[in-house]
Structure 1
């Protein structure tokens, strides 16, 4: 499979997974969290898909497309751990989280996701959904939507 085809499959799985998760949390009260803003595509999709919810974002730096800059009050700039700890201190309020942090080295990415898993769990409301590109620990893994190959994207219930 070409790298282009692989990327298209990953992005399709991400979009379909986020849409599925948005349906799953429909009756829960709370906010959405995008962990890893990047260029802002996912943030843009989340705010369009869930216009009635506050979408908060964590990233080290703000370097997204100009049309995807979150409001200052919703952008938590810095390393993920202290930003998540700040959210957890305020009280669990996240119904849907998208985890998309990475260094580009699989072993390092998996280790970081495992290390952040407990603090991600601390910001989630019971029954909330986490959509992740990396394996997390301490959550109930869900099958996710049909059509997404196993392991392509991961889905968890808090």
Structure 2
């Protein structure tokens, strides 16, 4: 599979996963967390699909498309571990989190996801959903939509 085909598969998984998760959290409490803003595509889709929730965003830099800049009060710039600790200290609880950090080096990405997992779990509302392209630990892995290859995108429920 070419890198272009892999990217198409990732984008389709993100769209289907966000749509699926948005339908499951409609009647629950909690905010939404986007970990890794990048160009802002998934953030923009979250805004569209979950318009009445506060969406927190964590990233090291703010470089999205101009139409995808989050409100300043919702953007946490810095290292993910520090920003997740900050959210936890504020008592923030997430109904949905999307984990989209990555360096593009599998071993490094898996290690980072594992290290951040307890911090992610600490900000999740009970039963909250986490969508991730990297494996996470300490959360219950669940089956996502059947349109997504289970090896391509991962789905978790917080205890």
Question: What TM-score does the superposition give when structure 1 sets the normalisation length?
Answer: 0.98
After superposition, give the CA deviation of every residue in 1:3-44 in whole Å (9 maximum; x if it has no partner): 222211111011101111111111111110000000000100
Q: Secondary structure at the match of 1:147?
A: coil
Quote the offset at 1:94 in angstroms. 0.5
Give the equivalent residue in structure 1 for 2:118. Answer: 118
Quote the offset at 1:154 in angstroms. 0.2
Quote the offset at 1:92 in angstroms. 4.0
2:3 and 2:90 mapped to 1: Cα distance? 41
After superposition, give the CA deviation of every residue in 1:111-151 in whole Å (9 maximum; x if it has no partner): 00000000000000001000001000000001100121121
Stretches (4+) displaced over 4 A: none
Quote the offset at 1:103 in angstroms. 1.3
Aligned pairs, how many?
Answer: 158
1:94 and 1:78 mapped to 2: Cα distance? 19
1:138 and 1:77 mapped to 2: Cα distance? 25
Give the equivalent residue in structure 2 for 1:37. Answer: 37
Give the equivalent residue in structure 2 for 1:93. Answer: 93
Give the equivalent residue in structure 2 for 1:152. Answer: 152
RMSD, aligned CA:
0.8
1:59 and 1:140 mapped to 2: Cα distance? 25
Preserved contact between residue 100 and residue 132 of structure 2 (Cα < 8 Å): yes
Question: What TM-score does the superposition give when structure 2 sets the normalisation length?
Answer: 0.97
1:147 and 1:42 mapped to 2: Cα distance? 18
Preserved contact between residue 30 and residue 125 of structure 1 (Cα < 8 Å): yes
Quote the offset at 1:2 in angstroms. 2.5
Preserved contact between residue 144 and residue 150 of structure 2 (Cα < 8 Å): no
Give the equivalent residue in structure 1 for 2:69. Answer: 69
1:119 and 1:100 mapped to 2: Cα distance? 15
- Structure 2 regions of 5+ residues with no counterpart? none
1:49 and 1:116 mapped to 2: Cα distance? 26
Give the equivalent residue in structure 2 for 1:48. Answer: 48
- Structure 1 regions of 5+ residues with no counterpart? none
